[in-house]
Structure formats: structure tokens, C-alpha cells
Amino acid sequence: MSAPSALRTPWLPKLVVAPSFVLSFLFIYGLMAWNGYLSVSASRLLPNYEFVGLAQYVTLFENERWWVALQNMAIFGALFIGGGMAVGLLLAILLDQKVRAEGVLRTIYLYPMALSFIVTGTAWKWILNPGLGLEHLMQQWGFSDFTFGWLVDPDMAIYCVVIAGIWQSAGFVMALFLAGLRGIDESIIKAAQVDGASLPRIYWRILIPTLRPVFFSTLMVVSHLAIKSFDLVMALTAGGPGYATDLPATFMYTMAFSRGQIGLGAASATIMLATVAAIVVPYLYSELRVKKC
């Protein structure tokens, strides 16, 4: 058998891909299954494989801090997703007007997404710190009555996380919407202009409804980012003041690695996984169904 024909052996590509597939399966789905079992075990400081049923989940939902994390997740998720998509869509519409220096502006808007959430959280922690950030700057300029202490206010600190999150994600959302707008046939816009439709009406009635698939895809991505938010919170507030800005991810980390409650942390991680699956699985199902049709 010649060398070229040997390379065309049907099983060779599968053999090459097999190690990566096996390792991915073990380190992703295997660890997910292990976490699921820990969540129904008596694990505390160290793994304990004694089966205790749903006891960890009962303890989880009796924990006041978990309910605070869920409440914060609802606030952060709604404002982060809604605000990020609204700002991103607005920026995309503005750039779609083919303004001067569009490339420079697009780069500026996209730049925050190139940063890690750790860098973003640290930067906004400095900006919002009453002692050295925005409040201090305004008072130095003579506005002695200006105060902005959200970062140290338990009732307002979660909104600081929202501000930082929107600042980082809006450029990415803008890029998705701008790509969608640029993919629309310009003849549709020209036909609407001939009929006398104003530019705002064209966007509101024609172009934005056309972006429905982009809206759905963007919602999936941003929702996923919101649910698994961890590093932004840890860098910006560390879950504080107290645990006022705890999210499920920070709660899980604290329980599993700081409080020695591995089973409780695994239970919270399983709830997060189920939430992500509830969002992603229907999306994947709809995509596969469309391709089959």
C-alpha cells in the first residue's frame, strides 16, 4: 500500500483525534459527574463519598447567604444583560451611520473586551473607591458636597458590579449587532427611504426586528457570562461589603475552598450548571433543528 493511500485510511483521523476527545471527556464531563456526586455526599473539608441524598441541597436553600447570592444574581443578570445589549445596540447603530474614524471608534469600544475581568474589576475598584477615585477627584475640583460611596454601601455595591460588567461587555455586543446590521441588504433601506420612512423608523420597524437571530445568540452568550461571573466580583468587591455582592459563583468558591463545605459548594455548582444548561440546551436544540430542516 502506498503512503498516500495509507494516509487515506478511514480510521486514521479518528485515531489522531481520539486522545484529545478522551481527555476532554474525562476532564470536563468526568469532573462534572464527580461534582454531581459530591453534591449528594457527606463531603465537608475533604471528599466523603457517603451518600446523603438531597441533604446538601436542603442545607443550601436554608442558607441565608445563598438567597442573597440568588437575589444579587437576579439584579446583576437583568441589568447586565439588558444594559449590555441596549448599550451595544446603540453603539452599533451609531457606527452603522458610517461615521468618520469608524475603525478607531470600533477599536476603542472593543478594547475593554480584550481585558480580563480581573483587570476590569481592579480598575473600577480604583475609580469607584471614595478615597481615591471619582468622589475624591470631584472633591479636589471644588465639589466638596459630591459623594459616590456605592462601593462601600451594602445596598448599592451590586450596581458597581453591573457598571463594570456593562462597560466590558458592551463592545462585544456592539460587534455582534454591527455585523448583523452590515449583513442586511441595503436595498431594503433604500426602498423604505423612497416610501418616506425616517431613519429612526427604519431601524425600529425594519432593521432591529431583522436582527432577531443576533439578539437570541447575543442573549445566550451574555447570559452565560452573567451566570458564571466570578473574577469580576472578586476583583471589584470580593463579595462585600460583608457578603452583599455575593453571586452563586463566589458563594460556591467560599463554601468549597474557604469554609470547608465541599458538598455544599458542589451543590451550588450543580445548580449553576443546571441554570446554564437550561439556557444553552434549548438554543443548541433549535439550531440543530433548523439545520436538519
pLDDT digits (tens, 9 = 90+) for 160-182: 999 999 999 999 999 999 999 88
The pLDDT value recorded for residue 197 is 81
Q: What's residue 1's pLDDT?
A: 47
pLDDT at 292: 66
Task: Round the average pLDDT of the chain to a whole number and report it.
Answer: 88
Report the pLDDT value the prediction gives residue 192, as an integer from 0 to 100. 83
- Quote the pTM value: 0.86
Cβ atoms within 10 Å, residue 288: 10
Comparing 3 with 38, which gets the higher pLDDT? 38
Helix (H, G, I), strand (E, B), or coil: what is residue 259? coil
In angstroms, the CA 274 to CA 72 distance is: 18
- CATH number attached to the domain at 63-292: 1.10.3720.10
pLDDT, one tens digit per residue, over 70-85 is 999 999 999 999 999 9
Query: At residue 3, does pLDDT exceed 60?
Result: no
CA distance 54 to 246: 23
pLDDT at 167: 95
- Range among 101-110, 131-140, 163-172 rated most confident: 163-172
pLDDT at 38: 93
The predicted pLDDT at position 5 comes to: 52
pLDDT in tens, 264-274: 999 999 999 89
* Lowest mean pLDDT across 249-253, 275-279, 280-284: 280-284
How many residues are listed for the chain in this entry? 293
The pLDDT score that the predictor gives to residue 4 is 54
What residue segments make up the domains of the chain, in order of their start? 63-292
- Taking residues 185-194, report their average pLDDT: 83
> Quick check: 280 and 272 in contact, CB under 8 A?
no
DSSP 128-193: H-TTTSHHHHHHHTT-TT----GGG-TTTHHHHHHHHHHHHHHHHHHHHHHHHHHTS-HHHHHHHH
Model confidence over 198-254: pLDDT tens digits?
888 888 888 888 898 899 889 888 988 898 889 999 999 999 898 999 999 999 999
The type of residue at 8 is: R
